[in-house]
Amino acid sequence: MIASLAGYLGKYVLIIVNHTQHGKCIETACRRNRIKAEFIHGKLSVAHQQNAIQRLNDGELNCLISTPVIDEGISVDNIKHIIYAAGYKSEIQVIQRVGRGKRKKTEGKNLLTIWDLADQGNNRCEKNSRQRFSVYKQITKQIEDVKLKSVINVARVIRGEVEIDNGD
């Protein structure tokens, strides 16, 4: 479903995962759905990571999937959508990851939509989701043009039941 959401959103999508195996699975699913995607992680060279990021910035890739290697010291310029496919709760990570998408865009409006796949069915995961949303709400009050979408049912998004603004 994450790959389907990325395909629906179009270009300049960043998907953040915690685990390498999860990222590989999403990359495979994206490619199966003919989505130009690449997965970067800490075991790849910095040059390889930077090349993939540049290809996303240039529009050659529709989607970049990354582990937390993207959290610090990497500039990604044209992100319109961030999909959080990892259940974390760190306020610092939330702020850093929103920062990935708030860089000045080279095309379209400087709009960022955060797609957080809300965790359900596990008390600890649900608590982490609530903590992330608390931080998002603080951020969206302080920063213009950041939208937050809590996604429990990705199919509703793809069917057009959830508003999408690609910043074009």
Q: What is the pLDDT of residues 3-14, one digit of tens each?
A: 988 998 888 899
Q: Which helix (H) or strand (E) holds 38?
A: strand 37-40
CA–CA gap between residue 154 and residue 159 (Å, rounded) = 9
What is the pLDDT confidence band of residue 155, given thresholds at 50, 70 and 90?
very low
Which two tokens mark 147? 């939208």
Distance of CA 120 to the CA centre of its chain: 19
What percentage of residues in the chain have a pLDDT greater than 90?
29
Which carries the bigger pLDDT value, residue 164 or residue 115? 115
Mean pLDDT, residues 73-90 taken together: 76
Q: Whole-model pTM?
A: 0.77
The encoded tokens of residue 29 equal 């699913």
Q: How many residues does the chain have?
A: 168
Rounded Cα distance, 167 and 155, in Å: 22
Question: Which stretch of 26-30, 94-98, 124-128 has the lowest confidence by average pLDDT?
Answer: 94-98
Using a CB cutoff of 8 Å and minimum separation of 24, what contacts does 50-56 make?
Answer: 50/74, 56/12, 56/14
Beta strands, E only, the chain:
13-16, 37-40, 63-66, 81-84, 112-117, 146-151
Mean pLDDT of the region 69-98: 74
Give the separation between CA 105 and CA 158, rounded to whole angstroms: 25
- Which of 51-55, 85-89, 147-151, 153-157 holds the top average pLDDT? 51-55
Task: Kindly state the average pLDDT of the residues 30-49.
Answer: 94
Q: How confident is the model at residue 55 (pLDDT cuts 50, 70, 90)?
A: very high
Q: Among 58-67, 83-92, 98-107, name the one with the lowest average pLDDT.
A: 98-107
Mean pLDDT of the region 102-108: 57
